Amino acid sequence: MLTKRIIPCLDIKNGRTVKGVNFENLIDAGDPVELAKYYSENGADELVFLDISATKEKRKTLVDLVERIAKNINIPFTVGGGISSVGDVSILLQSGADKVSVNSSAVKNPELINHLANKFGSQCIIVAIDAKQIDDNWKVYLVGGKVPTEIDLFEWAAEVEKRGAGEILFTSMNHDGTKDGYANQTLAIISQLVNIPVIASGGAGNMQHFADVFKIGKSDAALAASVFHFNEISIAELKQFLNNQDINMRV
């Protein structure tokens, strides 16, 4: 049985780690290099770095910060934000990233997924999908949740797999930062729809929420931010809790 993964997420703005609720009202959550080092040493399976304002500000990801983080950790490291070309990915991989996450640029130019997968291999291409449920429909949002589209979440998830994505990182904007639990029913549909790993994001508030996202949501990995940044949940204790519920974790 494959082990499930616990992934802290560093949302970066102006060189600092930030966290909000429903993608709004961001507050400071600490120095990203110190947090990355702490997570690497304390049981995180992987680390995700998202430069959340890069696309909106029409600039590239903070490469120097990526390099500093990469030098301080020894776990797989995913970087996203402002990535729109093969050249962008080359620079980030050379700077120490193991995988990259593309979101808005992939929606605007779906062929980008094919190009990146062909050039670098599917294993290092994650497509991040931010979506919001309005009535009974899940629609994809761009530019850090600022720009709505008419694209259906499930159709897009199926398409990114066909185009060569190695993983999907799904964030429910309805659940983000609420600490009320993940969008498990929706995650279960996505996990059934695709044959690539699905990373769940948005809503972690307690240890049971992680158990539920693996058992009910059928996710391969669970990403969280504030519960880890503000020491509300210890990753080591979380993994022990999940192992006790017969969820296979790397301890």
Identify the pLDDT of residue 55: 47
The pTM assigned to this predicted structure is 0.92
Q: Which residue has the tokens 């983080």?
A: 69
Give the phi and the psi of residue 196 in degrees, each rounded to 5. Answer: -110, 160
Task: List the chain pLDDT tens, one digit each, 251 residues.
Answer: 689 999 999 887 776 776 555 545 455 556 889 889 999 999 999 999 988 665 455 445 578 889 999 999 999 999 998 899 999 999 999 999 999 999 999 999 999 999 999 999 999 999 999 999 999 899 999 987 789 999 999 999 999 999 999 999 999 999 988 899 999 999 999 999 999 999 999 999 999 999 999 999 999 999 998 899 888 999 999 999 999 999 999 88
What is the CA angle 144-145-146, rounded to 5? 95
Closest CA to 166 of 227, 233, 226, 118: 118
Rounded Cα distance, 217 and 190, in Å: 9
Return phi, psi of residue 48, to 5°.
-115, 135
pLDDT at 146: 83
Q: State residue 99's pLDDT score.
A: 97
Give the pLDDT of residue 19: 54
**Catalytic residue set:** 11, 130
Q: What's residue 145's pLDDT?
A: 77
pLDDT of residue 28: 55
**What per-residue confidence (pLDDT) applies to 54?**
54
Q: What is the pLDDT of residue 81?
A: 86
> Domains along the chain?
5-244 (3.20.20.70)
pLDDT of residue 75: 97
**In terms of Cα–Cα distance, which of 25, 99, 37 is closest to 68?**
37
Per the CB < 8 A criterion, the answer to whether 235 and 44 are in contact is yes
Which of 44, 42, 54 has its CA nearest to residue 9? 44
